[in-house]
DNA sequence: CTGAAAGCGCTTACAG
DNA sequence: CTGAAAGCGCTTACAG
């Protein structure tokens, strides 16, 4: 025996049966009225809709999801949600998803694996259609679990290829090369690379590109890598760089947060003028990069384009497609005031 | 006739029936094994769990939600997700909710009302238990809709009282008063108030407190209010303030983003030294406030405490409680370097 | 185009 | 403690 009284929704108090009775049609007709493209006479649909509206009826997605394949739910799996870049991506994604008629469930992987595991189980329990991994590197096992449960997978800035998933990434290598070129063009003779130890594929790509371009041009690059990706490690990195006997005169930071920290350390702790004594280039184009204290020259993350690519793929691709796709987006350099002689 | 073959889950391929058969128990036993506190023998549960694990069985929340009252889903309704304060709140909330065994669905209200309306309908369709409004002021009608569908409501920094909901707010008035006191104690003679025109209850409270304290102390306050709450309006506000014949020597900004903009305008556009010529106090304690270019003295938003209060209330309060609750949290002043003579 | 019926996967009184 | 049975609210072949 179930909890609610017969034919009455637990929540709204009105089910399809009620609408059917009030409209003088069958339950099936009510269902058809709410299914686009179902075979139902226009007048019947109109009548049903009118009654449904009057009664405040809403289709119960729980029941519908039990039968139909698609739940309309997509899980957004991410860490460091409060970070400028990550939050911008999350905002863009929720907006696009919503416009595509989907709904976003977010799973925060910052904390204990236990709660993440449980949250993911819960998402699976709701027959979530797809999982989007926004983070540099959440546990590989999570992706496995999603796959095993036949979710579509979208991997943003990650490395591994998986059957039936898309990877959306930027051309990080090209950006690293461009950064080196910009520094040299600004007259830098002692180029440096400042990065974290996160070891994320996107960071690695930027580092690689920068190093390659330097090698090809016959330059030695001063490298410094430390901690996690944050403003604080930028401060640390800047301090290390400026404490060297031979100070660099240009630095490519693999992230804006790092670049901003490097600038602050150089200026406030060493009295180094940017860009006069030190040219700085960042990556992400976080809002703070445009603030008047920084005016950082940096690469823009095409956040909107990433969100679009993600939602497009979800909309068009069929679940369990065998082949994996790859979308590579460009990151373009935004000139502001932190590189000598430009901007 | 349904789509999948008999007794087989659409997704995982394994249902409770399969587990029951393999374990040699009834379907009810399987259900009980997955229900904490259900009346089932320990050995039976162990046996079921073992088989379930081996088969990769997961409870289908869709089906469970159809019967049980709680879905475990809570909707987070917010605008400006990419803003430092809002994203910090979102991060804290998702984390806490997750630890409490709930799952967060986020509805982004930045864009078209159409998609918001639809997303909310979808959340309702999933029998979402509660809605948390993080924004200053989303459409009142949304809250009405939630209420009509018997969701619990958590209103953060909002004004309206509603039956069966909690309001979580800060003591903004006290903060405004404290800010005034701090400015006067620093020797300011021409205190100013810089705010946006958002007209949010929290902003209004801070403004009020500041004005009241000034009036009581016999000071006239220089006021400037403009645009939305952002760094850019801070820049605008700072420019207006510094363009006055009689420049203020201390300013309380109702938000950190505004304060940071005011500082940048004062320093970079007018060569005004902070805190020597101008003391600045903000509100929120956004990460950027601690950056070395700013070292802003500001009030800390107790983001974690807000999230805790929200989740606690959700966990303890029963749906459809008639009386509304109010939780008021203090905002404490964090001394850094933007006020003369302190920090 | 329409309705009666079966079924989605689960839970929960009921009777033992 | 356990199982058989009813039911949650919906959708979809099937037969008309």
CB atoms B98 and A116 under 8 Å:
yes
pLDDT at A220: 97
| Mean pLDDT of the residues in chain B | 90
DSSP string, A125-170: HTT--EEEE-SS---HHHHHHHHHTT-EEEEES-----TTEEEEEE
User: For B246-278, how does the pLDDT look when each residue is reduced to its tens digit (9 = 90+)?
Assistant: 999 999 999 999 999 999 999 999 999 999 999
The spacing between the Cα labelled CA in A1 and the C1' in C15, in angstroms, equals: 13
Interval A207-224 mean pLDDT: 98
List the one residue out of A161, A102, A114, A159 whose CA is nearest residue A135.
A159
pLDDT of A214 > 80? The answer is yes
Nucleotide nearest to B42 (CA to C1'): D1
For residue A89, the 8-state DSSP code is H
Sign of CA dihedral B223, B225, B229, B234: negative
Work out the pLDDT band at B150, boundaries 50, 70, 90.
Answer: confident
Residue nearest D5, CA–C1′ metric: A1
Q: Is B118 on the interface with A (CB under 8 A)?
A: yes
CA A245 from chain centre, in angstroms, equals 40
Chain A neighbors of B59, CB-CB under 8 A: 125
pLDDT at A51 over 90: yes
Lowest-pLDDT choice from A231-235, A252-256, B148-152, B286-290? B148-152
Cβ-Cβ contacts under 8 Å, B31 against chain A: none
Place of tokens 């863009």: A92
Does the beta carbon of A108 lie under 8 angstroms from any beta carbon of chain B? yes
Chain C bases closer than 7 angstroms to a protein Cβ: 1-14
CB contact under 8 A, A91 and B81: yes
Residues of A in contact with B103 (CB under 8 A): 105, 107, 119, 122-123, 126
Chain A residues touching B63 at Cβ < 8 A: 62, 66
B252 within 8 A of B209, measured Cβ to Cβ: no
pLDDT (average), residues A227-234:
97
Closest protein CA to C1' of nucleotide D11, residue: A67
pLDDT confidence of residue A10: 47
**Burial (CB count <10 Å: 0-12, 13-18, 19+), residue A126:** buried
**Distance CA A6 to C1' C10 in A:** 17
- Is residue B210 within 8 Å of B227, Cβ to Cβ? no
Closest CA to A214 of A240, A246, A190, A242: A190
Mutate to test the interface with B, among A16, A106, A280, A338 (most CBs of B within 10 A): A106
Phi, psi of B300 (to 5 degrees): -85, 130
* Most confident residue range from A223-227, A318-322, B320-324: A223-227
Residues within 8 A of B (CB atoms), A 155-194 only: none
Give the residue with greater pLDDT, A288 vs A199. Answer: A288
Cα nearest neighbour of A128 on chain B: B11
Residues of B in contact with A106 (CB under 8 A): 94, 104-106
Q: What is the pLDDT of residues A278-321, one digit of tens each?
A: 999 999 999 999 999 999 999 999 999 999 999 999 888 665 55
Give me the pLDDT at residue A9, please: 45
Separation between the CA of B37 and the C1’ of C15 (whole angstroms): 21
pLDDT band for B8, please (50, 70, 90 cuts): very low
- Under the banding of pLDDT at 50, 70 and 90, the label for residue B6 is very low
**Distance in angstroms, CA of B282 to C1' of D1?**
63
Cβ contact A90–B81 (<8 Å):
yes
- All structural domains of chain B: 16-67 (1.10.260.40), 73-170+303-330 (3.40.50.2300), 172-301 (3.40.50.2300)
Higher pLDDT, B150 or A139: B150
CB contact under 8 A, B268 and A11: no
Q: Is A313 on the interface with B (CB under 8 A)?
A: no
What was the pLDDT predicted at B7? Answer: 37
Using a CB–CB cutoff of 8 Å, tell me whether A49 touches chain B: no
Supply the pLDDT for residue B337. Answer: 95
Whether A47 shows a pLDDT value over 60: the answer reads yes
What pLDDT, on the 0 to 100 scale, is given for residue B9?
45
Confidence class of residue A336 from pLDDT cuts 50, 70 and 90?
Answer: very high
Chain A nearest-CA distance from B79, in A, is 9
Q: Place A334 in a pLDDT band, splitting at 50, 70 and 90.
A: very high
Residues 6 or more apart whose CB falls under 8 angstroms from that of B295 comprise: B289, B336, B337, B338, B343
A235 neighbourhood in chain B, CB within 8 Å: 292
Q: What is the mean pLDDT of residues B120-138?
A: 83
Tell me if residue B297 falls in helix, strand or coil.
Answer: strand
In the structure, how far is the CA atom of residue A101 from the C1' atom of nucleotide C3, in angstroms? 31
* Chain B residues with beta carbon closer than 8 angstroms to that of A269: 292
Span of A75-89, A280-294, A319-333, B316-330 with lowest mean pLDDT: B316-330
> Taking 50 as the threshold, does the pLDDT of residue A5 lie above it?
no
- What are the pLDDT digits (tens) for A15-45? 899 999 999 999 999 999 999 888 899 999 9
Asked if pLDDT for residue A94 goes beyond 70, the answer is yes
CA distance A214 to chain B (A): 31
Provide the 10 A C-beta neighbour count for residue B212: 14
Predicted TM-score of the model (pTM): 0.90
Give the β-pairing of B152-156 and B130-133. Answer: parallel
d(CA B98, CA B103): 6
Q: Is the pLDDT of residue B139 over 70?
A: no
Task: Give how far A179 is from chain B: nearest CA, Å.
Answer: 25
E strand or H helix at A297, and its extent?
A: strand A297-300
**Which pLDDT does position A242 carry in this prediction?**
98
The integer distance in angstroms from the CA atom of A48 to the C1' atom of C4 is 19
DSSP 8-state assignment for residue B223:
E
Task: Establish whether the linkage from the previous residue to B341 is cis, with ω within 30° of 0.
Answer: no
- Mean pLDDT over A92-104 rounds to 92
* pLDDT at B72 (0 to 100): 86
Q: CA at B285, C1' at C12: how many angstroms apart?
A: 50
Please give the average per-residue pLDDT across B49-59, as a whole number: 89
Name which of B42-51, B113-122, B164-173, B180-189 the model is least confident about: B113-122
Tell me what percent of the residues of chain A surpass a pLDDT of 90: 66
Q: What is the pLDDT of residue A263?
A: 98
Chain B interface mutation, best of A16, A49, A65, highest count of B Cβ atoms under 10 Å:
A65
Residue A192 has pLDDT above 60, yes or no: yes
pLDDT category at A12 given cuts 50, 70, 90 is low
> Phi/psi at B97 (nearest 5 deg)?
-60, -45
């Amino acid at each position: 025996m179930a909890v609610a009284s017969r034919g009455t929704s637990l929540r709204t108090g009105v089910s399809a049966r009620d609408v059917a009775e009030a409209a003088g049609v069958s339950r099936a007709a009510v269902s058809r009225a709410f299914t686009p493209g179902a075979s139902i006479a226009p007048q019947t649909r109109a009548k049903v809709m009118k009654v449904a509206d009057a009664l405040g009826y809403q289709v119960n997605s729980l029941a519908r999801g039990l039968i139909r394949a698609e739940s309309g739910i997509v899980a957004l799996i991410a860490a460091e949600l409060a970070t400028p870049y990550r939050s911008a991506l999350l905002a863009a994604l929720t907006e696009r998803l919503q416009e595509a008629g989907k709904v976003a469930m977010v799973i925060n992987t910052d904390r204990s694996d236990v709660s993440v595991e449980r949250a993911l189980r819960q998402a699976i329990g709701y027959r979530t259609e797809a999982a989007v991994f926004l983070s540099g590197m959440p546990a590989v096992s999570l992706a496995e679990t999603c796959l095993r449960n036949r979710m579509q997978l979208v991997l943003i800035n990650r490395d591994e290829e998986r059957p039936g998933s898309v990877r959306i990434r930027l051309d990080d290598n090209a950006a690293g090369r461009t950064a080196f070129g910009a520094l040299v063009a600004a007259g830098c003779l002692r180029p440096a690379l400042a990065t974290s130890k996160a070891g994320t594929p996107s960071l690695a790509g930027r580092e690689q590109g920068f190093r390659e371009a330097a090698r090809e041009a016959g330059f030695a690059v001063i490298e410094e890598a430390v901690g996690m990706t944050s403003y604080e490690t930028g401060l640390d990195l800047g301090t290390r760089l400026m404490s060297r006997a031979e100070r660099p005169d240009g630095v490519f930071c693999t992230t804006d947060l790092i670049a901003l920290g490097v600038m602050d350390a150089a200026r406030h702790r060493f009295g180094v003028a940017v860009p006069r004594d030190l040219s700085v280039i960042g990556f992400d184009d976080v809002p703070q990069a445009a603030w008047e204290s920084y005016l950082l020259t940096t690469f823009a993350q095409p956040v909107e384009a990433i969100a679009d690519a993600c939602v497009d793929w979800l909309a068009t691709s069929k679940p369990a497609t065998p082949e994996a796709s790859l979308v590579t987006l460009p990151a373009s350099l935004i000139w502001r005031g932190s590189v000598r002689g430009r901007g």
